């Protein structure tokens, strides 16, 4: 047993496999950065804006980690740009076959694949460049989610005609009192009132009342 331990500790290779390589430090740093970026995307951007689907957080994190380690392991081979793009396209057609997922969730899957591949293949980039790319992915996704969540409130209004007897409230300075009076009598949220005609003989006016549905 002592001989076996000495062999593993003193040897630079075991069965043709290097015991330690400086790329291990790169692996730790890049995976840490990739994990941080993807957890922000999954937990703090995707999760709160998409009905809190926990299963997709699990799927995105697992897919991202697997792709990162796969690409990092394949980095030992000399890939040209065409091969890298081909691999990206191949991974981009991955579908969750159990359920049909929306276009938005497919876009998220594409983002996670892209971030993981960039982080894994970023051997010749500086940490500033890698950090900027990850921050750009996070920022663009967050801004997109916030813009999608902005809902323009469209007020639906209707109108009806009303015969009104209190002509005093028809004075311009009494316009707020006119709306309040009609609202209190009808129980409607009156938005505006338009005078269509006035009959001075009967002291009545025809009004068109616009209210919010």
User: Helix, strand or coil for residue 150?
Assistant: coil
Are the C-beta atoms of 55 and 63 separated by less than 8 Å? no
Instruction: Report the DSSP beta bridge partners of residue 205.
Output: 164, 198
Task: Express as a percent the part of the chain with pLDDT over 70.
Answer: 76
Confidence of residue 152 (pLDDT cuts 50, 70, 90): very low
Find tokens 């916030």 and name the residue.
146
User: Helix, strand or coil for residue 207?
Assistant: strand
Cα separation, 211 vs 190, in Å, equals 4
What average pLDDT score do residues 147-152 get?
68
CB atoms within 10 A of CB 49: 16
Cα separation, 128 vs 8, in Å, equals 37
Cα separation, 9 vs 23, in Å, equals 19
Chain center to CA of 6: 53
- Is the model's pLDDT at 4 over the cut of 50? no
Residue range 111-145, pLDDT digits in tens:
898 898 888 887 778 889 999 999 999 999 999 88
Give the pLDDT score at 10. Answer: 53
Residue range 53-68, pLDDT digits in tens:
788 888 889 888 988 8
Are the C-beta atoms of 160 and 169 separated by less than 8 Å? no
* pTM given for the model: 0.57
User: Helix, strand or coil for residue 211?
Assistant: strand
Mind giving me the DSSP string for 63-124? Answer: HHHHHHHHHHHHTTS---HHHHHHHHHHHHT---TTS---HHHHHHHHHHHHHHHHHHT-TT
- Is the model's pLDDT at 34 over the cut of 50? yes
Mean pLDDT of the chain: 80
């Amino acid at each position: 047993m002592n001989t076996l331990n000495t062999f593993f500790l003193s040897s630079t290779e075991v069965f043709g496999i290097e015991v330690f390589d400086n790329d291990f430090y790169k692996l730790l740093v890049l995976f840490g950065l990739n994990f941080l970026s993807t957890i922000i995307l999954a937990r703090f951007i995707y999760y709160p804006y998409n009905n809190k689907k926990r299963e997709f957080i699990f799927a995105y994190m697992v897919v991202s980690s697997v792709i990162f380690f796969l690409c990092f392991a394949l980095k030992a081979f000399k890939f040209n740009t065409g091969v890298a793009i081909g691999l990206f396209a191949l991974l981009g057609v991955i579908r969750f076959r159990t359920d049909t997922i929306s276009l938005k969730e497919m876009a998220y899957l594409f983002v996670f694949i892209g971030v993981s591949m960039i982080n894994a293949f970023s051997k010749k980039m500086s940490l500033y460049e890698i950090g900027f790319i990850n921050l750009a992915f996070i920022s663009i996704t967050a801004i997109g989610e916030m813009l999608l969540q902005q809902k323009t409130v469209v007020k639906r209004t209707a109108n009806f005609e009303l015969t009104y007897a209190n002509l005093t409230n028809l004075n311009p300075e009494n316009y707020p009192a006119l709306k309040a009076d009609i609202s209190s009598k009808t129980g409607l949220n009156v938005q505006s009132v338009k005078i269509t005609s006035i009959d001075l003989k009967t002291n009545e006016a025809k009004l068109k009342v616009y209210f919010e549905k």
